[in-house]
Amino acid sequence: MTKKKMVPLAAVVLAAALFAYWFYFSKPSEFPANEQAVAEINRTFPKAYSRTIQEAIRIDDRHMVLPFISKVKNYGLSYWVWRNHKWNVVSVDTNGKPSMWKIDPTDPSSYYLIWNLQPDHPLSSINFYLIGEREYHISGGIEDYQPKVQMKKKIFLQEKSYGAVQLPEQWTASINVLSQAESAQNPDVLTMDMFPEQSMFIGWIPYDKAGKESNIMFEGPSYSSSYEAIEELRPINESDMERP
């Protein structure tokens, strides 16, 4: 190839590299104003009927969650991710049910508990629990015992009926320990999930203003753009809890 032909080719390669960097890796732009966010939620999922953004909660530079109130007084959640050089609505939930957002599915320290409950419902708090079932089995003549795990995170709802909190450090440490144990038993990493869902899960219990366990119903459609990083959390009962 002659020098005259190499120069234009190098320019094309450089331009393509710069475009790829700009498209995939550039710093996120300013987040849309509330009016634009409402319009984008409704464009993405018309059944959301979003009308009022309660707050734009920044998870990190590329992830935002916006609790909203709909025209029919539903309290919902919209999940936003910066990718392909724009802010994208990747999931919309019109009932605000407590969920977990796995920002990095391979790293439990990046997981967030997220909720938006009806403030008219007389709830005062939520207890989130990390539960690991007690297990005992014998394999190849070797006994293996895993003790019960039960850790609580209490959230008060007096000031806000919505929010997002990162998993406590003790929870992520326990998840990592159990994941490593399961990985040692099953070295086929292709079949493993970082969160050991088969033996560990996160549940929640709502409480009313009298401090009693409450029942709450969730209704409403939801939308997800093939986005699998958000999981609904399991409602549980006090009777399921072990006490010292």
188-202 average pLDDT score: 63
Beta-ladder partners of 60:
63
More confident call, 121 vs 98? 98
Whether 73 and 95 have beta carbons less than 8 Å apart is answered as no
Structure confidence at residue 196 (pLDDT): 57
**Pairwise pLDDT comparison (22 vs 116), residue with the higher score:** 116
Q: Which of 187, 163, 39, 183 minimizes the C-alpha distance to 112?
A: 163
| Per-residue pLDDT reduced to its tens digit, 42-58 | 999 999 999 999 999 99
Contacting residues for 128 by C-beta, under 8 A, at least 6 apart: 98, 113, 152, 153, 154, 155, 202, 203, 204, 233
- Contact yes or no for 93/114 (Cβ under 8 A): no
Integer Rg of the chain from CA = 22
| pLDDT bucket at 93, cuts 50 / 70 / 90 | very high
In the three-class reduction of DSSP (H, G, I as helix; E, B as strand; rest coil), residue 94 is classed as coil
Which pLDDT score is estimated for 186?
Answer: 62
Q: Is 12 helix (H, G, I), strand (E, B) or coil?
A: helix
Amino acid at 176: N
CA atoms within 13 A on the CB side of 221: 11
Going by C-alpha positions, the residue among 231, 234, 221, 228 that lies closest to residue 92 is 221
Quick: pLDDT tens for 206-228: 999 899 999 887 777 777 776 77
Q: What 3-state class would DSSP assign to 171?
A: helix
CA distance 58 to 91: 16
Q: How far apart are CA 95 and CA 108, in angstroms?
A: 25
| For residues 112-135, average pLDDT | 90
Q: For the chain, how long is the longest CA-to-CA vector? A: 83
pLDDT reading at 192 higher than 70: no
Joined tokens for residue 146: 């895993």
Strand order in the sheet with 234-235: 149-156, 123-132, 200-208, 234-235
Cα 49 → chain centroid: 22
What pLDDT score was predicted for residue 242? Answer: 84
Q: What are 98-117's pLDDT values in tens digits? A: 999 999 999 999 999 999 99
Answer yes or no: are the C-beta atoms of 127 and 114 closer than 8 Å.
no
pLDDT at residue number 193:
55
What residue type is 115 in one-letter code? W
> Which whole number is the average pLDDT over 123-152?
86
Please tell me the chain's helix, strand, coil percentages from 3-state DSSP, rounded to the nearest 5.
25, 40, 35
